[in-house]
Structure 1
Amino acid sequence: MRQKKDAAVTPQERKGGATHAKRVPGKVDGVKGSGYSKGQAKREEILIGLIAALNRGELRNPSLKAIGQALGVEPAHILYYFKSREELLQAVIVRWDRDALGQLPDGSPKIMDIDEYEAIIARNVVRPGVVHLYLAFAAEAVEPSHPAHDFIRERFDKARTALAAAIRQEQDLGTISAAIDPAIEARLLIALADGLQLQSLIDPDIDAAAHLKSAIVQLRESKFGECVNRPRFPGV
């Protein structure tokens, strides 16, 4: 019996499920290829688009539907790249921190001086959409069951650690009284900054950065006057 030159094509091969399927050039078994890169690129596109819309003031603590409308993307398509609205908003805050709050790429806080913190708040004031998102999202995350509860808590801890380190640095230099507790003062500065940013959203005439700078000046002046654990904040 004459042998056929070409073997019959199995149903599995027709469906692309053959054991010895044709290899894709440049693709290594067990390693995510171009599909993964395209997915990451689309995720980045959604993230950058949302941040831009927030910076333009087009969105304020938006729903998934509102985000989709602003980006021209179906909500279901967004959920293909982000597990939930909360994960997307958390990614926005992570990127904002990395760009504005001086975090290192691994998420750890870098030691920054206190004046830099005041400059960061000044920068935030011209991005009310992102500030509104952060404050509203942090308020939502108060509930322990909220998906971002631990994230927001850790974020506060990182900011406090970074500011406390900056205060200790100035204590070593003699510009801030050694009697002041760096951890307490760091929490006070964070609370003041967040509260002032909230007030500035309600009343744009409030200069959050200027009031924060006043508190920083008084913190340093405590070295030369009566040392108190909590600075006074005039004009707030």
Structure 2
Amino acid sequence: MTTQAPPSTARAAGYAKGRATREEILDAAMQLFGEVGYHTASLREVASRVGISHPGLLHHFSSKAVLLAAVLARRDEVDEAAFQSDLDGGHDYFEALARIVERNAVRPGIVELFATLSAEATSPDHPAHEFFQDRYRTVVGLTTAEFERLRAEGRLRPGIDPRTAARLTVAVMDGMQIQWLLAADSPEDRPDMAEALRAQLAALLTG
């Protein structure tokens, strides 16, 4: 005699399995996009890494552009949640930024993904072009507002424009990621990205 799970249980199990597969696809795509870039990566390779068919992958993500958008959204959701948690825990804006950089130091795949895609996305026809434009606009805007607040408190060094300070801060974060990635085969030469960011901030602030 055989028994069957109630329909509701079966549906729940199917949903959980589908959810797990979706997460596996995102993990595999994130790694592959970081390794070879968006244009070179193929959905068939992502599917192969997850152990599903190409049509099976398309059931979850209808195109490579849709998959890329999901990967980028997932990355931002994780970082934004951690950033907000640090702010809620009493860290100021810039220390919360430094803590994101520290977390990235143990997530090389995330760093590689961002570095690769942000460079590719400078092309207007890249599907992530608008995403990165919006992202930089938002990050520079928020960081400018923080420097303006510090200037009002007398903590920004005289003669420094808040928006320029914001762009310098973002440039240090992105530039240190490139240096960090290039030193992957020489751990002793690998820079401390968070330390570099904190040093840059110290140079901009009076204390």
Normalised to the residue count of structure 1, the TM-score between the two structures is: 0.64
Alignment map for 1:19-58 (pairs within 5 Å): 38=15, 42=18, 45-47=21-23, 49-51=25-27
RMSD of Structure 2 on Structure 1 (CA): 3.3
Instruction: Choose between structure 1 and 2 for higher RCO, CA contacts under 8 A separated by at least 6 residues.
Output: 2
List per-residue Cα deviations over 1:32-66 (Å, max 9, x = no partner).
Answer: xx8xx94x9836742455337857x9x72462233
Unaligned runs of 5+ in 2: 1-10, 85-91, 185-189
Structure in which a larger fraction of residues adopt helix:
2
Unaligned runs of 5+ in 1: 1-33, 105-111, 224-236
Partner residue, 1:115: 95
Partner residue, 2:115: 135
Q: Per-residue deviation at 1:217? A: 1.0
1:72 aligns to 2:51 (yes or no): yes
Work out whether residues 114 and 167 of structure 1, in 8 Å CA contact, stay in contact via their aligned partners in 2.
no
Q: How many residues align?
A: 182
Q: Percent identity?
A: 29
Superposition misfits of 4+ residues, deviation over 6 angstroms: none
Residues 159-168 or 40-49, more deviating: 40-49
Q: Per-residue deviation at 1:178? A: 5.8
Partner residue, 1:125: 105
Give the one of 31, 35, 53 matched to 1:60. Answer: 35
Normalised to the residue count of structure 2, the TM-score between the two structures is: 0.72
Larger Rg: 1
Alignment map for 1:51-200 (pairs within 5 Å): 51=27, 60-61=35-36, 63=41, 64-101=43-80, 113-177=93-157, 179-200=159-180
Q: Per-residue deviation at 1:193? A: 0.7
